[in-house]
């Protein structure tokens, strides 16, 4: 049962990789990286249960956190062109008008 | 089952590497390198090296993607098509790979019980950690207590480097914005 689920998640990961390779726009790629991270979380969970070590589930939660923060960082970077400090209102207006790719 | 999963993950890792080499859109390359490090982290997890896997995922998929994206913002989004043939670099890379594989031939098999690590150091830590440190996780016990000074040194180095980068780059950003406000 767990083996079937693991293989299914792996097939999903391969399909996401195809979209990441082919994906025409930037947002396709950001979304596919985020979905790949989610699949990684699920894969860690099922692999832990498959090999009889369910203590890996905590680590899967940490991966979910990293995935979330990473996606936010990438998107914030493409919105404001820099990380860390807060953007100015003028810059938000200009970055909204220029459509990224 | 474990062998099947390891082979599948290695197959996906090699496919990702080939895709990275083929693509010219550097943003896609950054995303694919994040995928490659997540796959490497999964391989480490299948090999039970959970802490190494976590470092790989945090640094490879998290920090280095953001650093690469900052570099793309400063340079260009597309790679120039190389004019020279890439046969010599391919030969050098293949040769290095073969030398590395040759180097692993002398190593003990993965998880073998008669490896030098398992016969001398490992049992010592396993016997002494519960009595001396009272930490259920032996890896944590080794890192935080037996090699405590080593870890403290690493943390100091990372803290100093981060402080230096913040002092250097933070000052530049503030000055640039102040200059923009005046003009």
Confidence of residue A24 (pLDDT cuts 50, 70, 90): confident
B29 in reach of chain A (CB within 8 A): no
> Helix, strand or coil for residue B78?
strand
Report chain B's mean pLDDT, rounded to a whole number.
84
Neighbour count for residue B36 (Cβ, 10 Å): 21
With the C-alpha atoms ordered A23, A28, A33, A37, is the resulting torsion angle positive or negative? negative
A35 in reach of chain B (CB within 8 A): no
Could you tell me the pTM of the whole model? 0.77
- Determine the residue among B10, B36, B45 to mutate to test chain A binding: the one whose Cβ has the most chain A Cβ atoms within 10 Å: B45
What mean pLDDT is predicted for residues B63-82? Answer: 80
Å between B102 CA and nearest CA of chain A: 31
A50 in reach of chain B (CB within 8 A): yes
Q: Is the pLDDT of residue A21 over 80?
A: yes
Q: Which residue has the higher pLDDT, B75 or A16?
A: A16
pLDDT digits (tens, 9 = 90+) for B10-33: 999 999 999 998 888 888 888 889
pLDDT of residue A66: 86
Contact B56, B64 (CB under 8 A): no
> Helix, strand or coil for residue B183?
coil
Helices (H) and strands (E) in chain B, counts: 9, 0
Confidence of residue B175 (pLDDT cuts 50, 70, 90): low
Cβ-based neighbours of A71, under 8 Å, separated by 6 or more: A30, A33, A34, A37
Contact A46, A40 (CB under 8 A): no
Helices (H) and strands (E) in chain A, counts: 4, 0
Q: CB distance A81–B73 less than 8 Å? A: yes
Contact B38, A35 (CB under 8 A): no
Strands (E), A19-67: none
Q: Is the pLDDT of residue B135 over 50?
A: yes
Q: Is the pLDDT of residue A49 over 50?
A: yes
pLDDT of residue B171: 67
pLDDT digits (tens, 9 = 90+) for B95-123: 999 999 999 888 888 778 788 777 888 88
Q: Which residue has the higher pLDDT, B92 or B50?
A: B92
Contact B56, B44 (CB under 8 A): yes
Q: Is the pLDDT of residue A91 over 50?
A: yes
Which of A7, A20, A73 has its CB closest to that of B66? Answer: A73
Contact B36, B16 (CB under 8 A): yes
Q: Cβ-count burial of B53 within 10 angstroms (0-12 exposed, 13-18 middle, 19+ buried)?
A: buried
Q: Cβ-count burial of B155 within 10 angstroms (0-12 exposed, 13-18 middle, 19+ buried)?
A: exposed
């Amino acid at each position: 049962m767990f083996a079937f689920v693991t293989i299914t998640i792996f097939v999903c990961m391969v399909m996401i990789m195809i979209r990441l390779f082919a994906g025409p726009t930037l947002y396709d790629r950001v979304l596919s990286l985020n979905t790949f991270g989610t699949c990684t979380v699920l894969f860690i969970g099922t692999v832990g249960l498959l090999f009889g070590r369910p203590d890996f589930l905590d680590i899967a939660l940490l991966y979910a956190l990293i995935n979330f923060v990473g996606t936010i960082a990438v998107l914030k970077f493409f919105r404001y062109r820099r990380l860390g400090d807060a953007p100015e209102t003028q810059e938000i207006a200009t970055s909204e008008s220029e459509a990224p790719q | 089952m474990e062998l099947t999963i390891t082979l599948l993950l290695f197959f996906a890792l090699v496919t990702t590497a080939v895709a990275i080499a083929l693509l010219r859109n550097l943003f896609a390359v950054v995303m694919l390198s994040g995928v490659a490090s997540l796959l490497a982290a999964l391989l480490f997890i299948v090999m039970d090296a959970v802490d190494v896997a976590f470092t790989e995922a945090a640094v490879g998929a998290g920090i280095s993607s953001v650093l690469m994206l900052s570099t793309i913002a400063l340079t260009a989004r597309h790679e120039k098509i190389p004019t020279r043939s890439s046969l010599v670099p391919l030969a050098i890379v293949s040769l290095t790979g073969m030398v590395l594989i040759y180097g692993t031939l002398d190593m003990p098999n993965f998880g073998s019980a008669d490896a030098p690590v398992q016969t001398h150091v490992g049992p010592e830590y396993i016997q002494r950690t519960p009595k001396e440190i009272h930490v259920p996780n032996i890896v944590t016990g080794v890192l935080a207590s037996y090699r405590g000074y080593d870890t403290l040194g690493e943390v100091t180095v990372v803290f100093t480097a981060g402080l230096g980068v913040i002092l250097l780059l933070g000052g530049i950003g503030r000055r640039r914005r102040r200059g923009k406000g005046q003009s």
